[in-house]
C-alpha cells in the first residue's frame, strides 16, 4: 500500500515539474507570447467559423507542434548556455537549428490554417 502512495506522489510531482517548465517558457520566452496570441486567434476563428471535428484535430495538432517546438527550443538553448557559456560555432548551430524547428512548425501550421480558414473567410468577406 505504501508503494502505491509513493508512486502516486512521484507521478504528481512529475506534473508539478512539467507545469514549472510550462510557466518558465510562458514567463521568459518572448516568442511564446506570439504563439499564445495565434493560439487564441485560431481558437476564436475555429469556433466562429464552425470548423469540423477533423479540422479541429488538425488545428490542435498544429498548435501543439508549434508549442512543443518552442518548449524544445527553450530546453536546447538552456542546455547549450549551460555547457558553452562562451561563444562556440557549434553552440550557435544547435541554437539556430532548434529555432529553425519552431519556424518550420509555424510555417506548416500557417499553411494548414490558410487551407482550413481561407475558403471560409473568402466566402464570408467576398461572397
- Just list the catalytic residues: 70
* Buried-state track 36-65, b at ≥16 Cβ within 10 A, e below 16: eebbeebeebbeeeebeeebeebbeebbeb
The whole-angstrom separation of Cα 25 and Cα 19 is 10
Specify the residue for cell string 553552440.
Answer: 91
* Closest among 70, 84, 81 to 26, alpha carbons compared: 70
* Closest among 36, 43, 59 to 116, alpha carbons compared: 59
Angle (deg, nearest 10), helices 53-83 and 30-48:
180
Amino acid at each position: 500500500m505504501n508503494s502505491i502512495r509513493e508512486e502516486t506522489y512521484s507521478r504528481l510531482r512529475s506534473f508539478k515539474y512539467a507545469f514549472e517548465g510550462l510557466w518558465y517558457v510562458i514567463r521568459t520566452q518572448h516568442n511564446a507570447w506570439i504563439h499564445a496570441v495565434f493560439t487564441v486567434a485560431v481558437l476564436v476563428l475555429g469556433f466562429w467559423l464552425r470548423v469540423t471535428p477533423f479540422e479541429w484535430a488538425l488545428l490542435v495538432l498544429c498548435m501543439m507542434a508549434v508549442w512543443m517546438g518552442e518548449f524544445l527550443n527553450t530546453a536546447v538553448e538552456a542546455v547549450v548556455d549551460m555547457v558553452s557559456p562562451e561563444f562556440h560555432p557549434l553552440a550557435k548551430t544547435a541554437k539556430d537549428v532548434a529555432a529553425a524547428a519552431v519556424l518550420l512548425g509555424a510555417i506548416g501550421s500557417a499553411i494548414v490554417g490558410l487551407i482550413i480558414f481561407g475558403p471560409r473567410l473568402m466566402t464570408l468577406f467576398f461572397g
